[in-house]
Chain A
Amino acid sequence: MSDRPRGGQAADDRTADTVAGAVRWPAAGTLDRIAFARLDESSRDAVRTSPVPVLVLREPALLAVTRVMTGPAWYAIAAREGGLTISLGGTRLAHPHPGVAPARGRSIVRGEPAFVTQNEAIWSASWLENGVAYVLEVECDTPSEPRCADERTLLGLTAALSYVGGAGGQP
């Protein structure tokens, strides 16, 4: 992560407590235009203004219920379908906390070290990619159901993400 926002990005996102990382926008050739087109209009608008590269769930049934939201330095996706609640998002603002040692997760997601954990039966994976901290979470309406018995559903979803754009990489 860099301690300076990249040129053209909103430097005023940076506060005394945060550091804006330099976003590396993926090549235009990696854009999934089909997935983008499957988003509703509101979500497509949100993608266009996202300050970070937007990853979405590629599955058409999930894209149909995906809601994309953006903040000053982040985006978030909410999707609820078939007994699953899926939350996905990324931010380029990092919080430097003295006393917290750098570490790398033991798992691998999208080729990057990732932390995989379970919180009250909600599975999550977090990783750094393109200068952005991403996190994907899966919650089962019924925590005891097989899809939330282990991390396989979560990891399966992380393997099926598509890049659909952002303010620095329009489709």
Chain B
Amino acid sequence: MTQALATSAPASDTRSVKLVYFAWVRERVGLADEQVELPAGTETVLDLVRWLKSRDEGYAAAFENETLVRAAINQTHVKPGASLAGASEIAFFPPMTGG
């Protein structure tokens, strides 16, 4: 609780997070990673996806199908509804094809 309070910024502030992209998500976005200021009101992964889509055509193409692209927060898989509280690194990537 203390930690959550310490990291939550005042309402007027923005919060900086690192975004990382892999495979065709990386290619469509045109970047491997970037540091962004989360706009106010961006509380979940899906909020972030929708904001990214509005930035330019590359992001719009990468996140064309909102439910196809997978996400991880701080290197752990999360669902689209997951909260961004405590997130420092948020990754977006296609369904995995290893093994």
Are A and B interaction partners? no
Binding site for B on A (CB under 8 A): none
Binding site for A on B (CB under 8 A): none
